[in-house]
A and B are shown apart, each in its own frame.
Chain A
Amino acid sequence: MKYHIVQLGCQMNISDGERVRQVLESMGFVRTENEEEANLLGVIACSVRQKAIDKVYTRIHKWNKWKNRKNLITFVSGCVLPADRERFLKLFDLVFPISELPGFPDMIRQYGIVTPAGLQSLDKGLEHLESMTPEPQVKESVLKPYQVQSEKNNLRPDLGIEEFWHISPKYGSGFEAYIPIQNGCNKFCTFCAVPYTRGREVSRPSDEILEELQNLVNKGYKSITLLGQNVNSYGKDKKGEEITFAELLEKIGQYGEASGKDFWVYFTSPHPRDMGDDVIEVISKYKCLAKQIHLPIQSGDDGMLIRMNRKHSVEKYRRIIHSIRRMIPEATLFTDIIVGFTGETEEEFENTRRIMDEFKYNMAYIAQYSPRPGAASSRWADDVPKSVKKERYHTLTEDLMRHSLEYNKKLIGKTVKVLVRGKDRKTGFLSALTEGKIIVRFPSDDDTLIGQFVYVKINSAVPFSTEGEMVTVDVNALGVDA
């Protein structure tokens, strides 16, 4: 039996999807990229934008039409707002929060599907599968137990997340991996629906995180990203019974030194409110902790930050950046910015431009504001015209390109260590990332380099990327840049 998953959204969803794949494949399902040949069709949904939710509706309407000619089961999980979940219950066969993934095999079995793994134990052949699959019209009665189960967790979708973390993921790459360390959010930014889809902050036990990280490093993984909605509030929900985020990084750093292995550890996303000097200091101390900080600011105007309920001021953010520049001068800096948020005036936007000029980000993920259903701001007027949002987006992007180019030009002539990630769109080139996540492309047809660290001498730069030639270096004599 084959399964096909439509995965929408952020790195957290990608990470969740890796665990869904593990569960399905351990049941004997085989992954297919062709949804038409799948017997089990699922969506890992994202509620960040209405467009992503619209995609879920488009898919399920198509899949439900297919039920007239074939037997299949549909499911949806991931980031789903309560109101959408209610609607999905009428459209999908199975609807469950990701924290209930450990119970997924039981849901499928109770639905009446015998999986290949189950069949082996029953000593039956795969050819019986089609005849044993129930007709879609019975789904209401079969669904009921799962509606009840989900209602239990309606208010606290984080319940059961610890069990979810015990599932070993089916990593999508052999050299890059995500490790979820925390789930949920307590911050209630007015533009964001995450507190309503993923519930409150829950930290994963640190020994599990370290075990997963060590396993990955031992398997040769080179780039590992610690994931969470607010990674640097890690441990706070355990009220002193868990280590802090800085202490977690310290343990990872110590392991990195002791292991003698070469790898980079990143984290995303931290919240400025919880970003202390202790985190920055520990990053500065250890080689394996990547010198790249992604610190979302969202707006450079204090008034907008209040309206966004960000719980920090520009000045507080500035102090963090000064600490980063002081303790990790080589660090690259990434951010997230929303333009055209409710009520954003020209003056407030100009303040955001000023901080772009001041902090000279290497990368900024700039979004034109659109109300996110479920978020507090979705109840406010979306009063900045689309044309203005677009103009502000282009203005900020041009500013960003200027700063990016300025930085990248300084790399010309330098030799940098990079992790090769795959073939570049430019024929005959490979694409790689520096420790600071600056894109480097270089001419090579050698696919065996993918997933390896190599050194590249940079000879040209454009905004957001550089180009160079791979070189052989004496590592002991080399200072690593970017």
Chain B
Amino acid sequence: MNDNNKHKLQAIRQLTDTTYVLEMERGGMDFKPGQHILLGYNGDIHKREYSIYSGTGDEKLEVLIKEVEDGLVSKHLRQLEKGTLLEVEGPLGFFAIEPELIRQKRKFLFIASGTGIAPFRSMVRSYPGLDYTILHGVKYAHEAYDKKSYNPDRYILCTSRDNGGDFHGRVTEYIRQHDFDKDAICYFCGNFNMIRDAMRLLEEKGIPAEHLHAEVYF
């Protein structure tokens, strides 16, 4: 737990009309890639959980935020001035890779929808040499947030509303049409329906339930 819970806002990096990266001072926070924080504007009573987007080696602390229509926090945060104090609680959560699995050089399958890519970016940045494949489901190709952060051979963009990705269709459709290494350790992050359907499909394809780990976005 980081007791020094005030972090200065450094920058807001707009990725799409409704999605942005909020960069703040790290303040010495120690975290495991995949964990989340509870974030709010200093003095505001509303807080929300956001997965950490930056890596453990990065100087700043980043979160990836999608503005929610009528949202009390996501819209407000985007309007803040540089230097504003943010309240951060955490790191929190259990969505992390066991270091032993990395030492064993296991294969990892990361499956994300939308901003659910955030914890995987943190993992990829934190563990150089990680043997991973990312399936990223979005509506449009321009929602491939910070695509350059990933090895192009390991990043598969599934777009459901245009043809600009590597696969036209939902992530679940991609899973249905392809085979996967049955020893892969699978991590899911994003909306509940995608996670539920993707988990069922991978179980049907022979990946054991104990290799499936999920973080729901809500």
**Which residues of B189-205 have CB atoms within 8 Å of chain A's CB atoms?**
192, 195-196, 199
Main secondary structure of the interface of A (DSSP, over half): helix
- State which of B38, B40, B192, B210 has its C-beta within 8 Å of the C-beta of A307: B192
Binary CB contact string for chain B from 182 to 218 against chain A (1 if under 8 A, 0 otherwise): 0000000000100110010000000001100010101
B153 to chain A, nearest CB (A): 30
A76 to chain B, nearest CB (A): 16
A45 to chain B, nearest CB (A): 16
Q: Residue on A with the closest CB to B95? A: A311
Residues A377 and B218 in contact in the complex (CB < 8 Å), given A155-B40, A237-B1, A302-B196: yes
Q: Does A379 belong to the interface (CB within 8 Å)?
A: yes
Most buried by A among B1, B43, B45, B93: B45
In the bound complex, do residue B1 and residue A190 qualify as a contact, i.e. CB atoms below 8 Å apart?
A: no
Q: Chain B, interface size: which category?
A: 20 to 34
In the bound complex, do residue A155 and residue B5 qualify as a contact, i.e. CB atoms below 8 Å apart?
A: yes
Binary CB contact string for chain B from 1 to 37 against chain A (1 if under 8 A, 0 otherwise): 1000100000000000000000000000000000000
**Which residues of A136-189 have CB atoms within 8 Å of chain B's CB atoms?**
151, 154-156, 186, 188
A302 to chain B, nearest CB (A): 7
- State which of B40, B192, B210 has its C-beta within 8 Å of the C-beta of A306: B192
**Which residues of A304-361 have CB atoms within 8 Å of chain B's CB atoms?**
306-307, 309, 311, 313, 315
Q: Does A103 belong to the interface (CB within 8 Å)?
A: no
Q: Does A86 belong to the interface (CB within 8 Å)?
A: yes
In the bound complex, do residue B45 and residue A303 qualify as a contact, i.e. CB atoms below 8 Å apart?
A: no
In the bound complex, do residue B92 and residue A82 qualify as a contact, i.e. CB atoms below 8 Å apart?
A: no
Q: Does B46 belong to the interface (CB within 8 Å)?
A: yes
In the bound complex, do residue B45 and residue A200 qualify as a contact, i.e. CB atoms below 8 Å apart?
A: no
Q: Does B67 belong to the interface (CB within 8 Å)?
A: no
Q: Does B94 belong to the interface (CB within 8 Å)?
A: yes
Q: How far is the CA of A315 from the CA of B5 in the complex (A)?
A: 37
Q: Which residues of B contact A311 (CB under 8 A)?
A: 94
Q: List 17 A-B contacts (CB under 8 A).
A: A82-B45, A86-B45, A154-B43, A154-B45, A186-B92, A188-B92, A188-B93, A190-B216, A200-B92, A306-B192, A306-B195, A306-B196, A306-B199, A306-B214, A306-B216, A309-B216, A376-B218
Listed in ascending order, the chain B residues whose CB lies under 8 Å from chain A are: 1, 5, 38, 40, 43, 45-47, 49, 87, 89, 92-94, 192, 195-196, 199, 209-210, 214, 216, 218
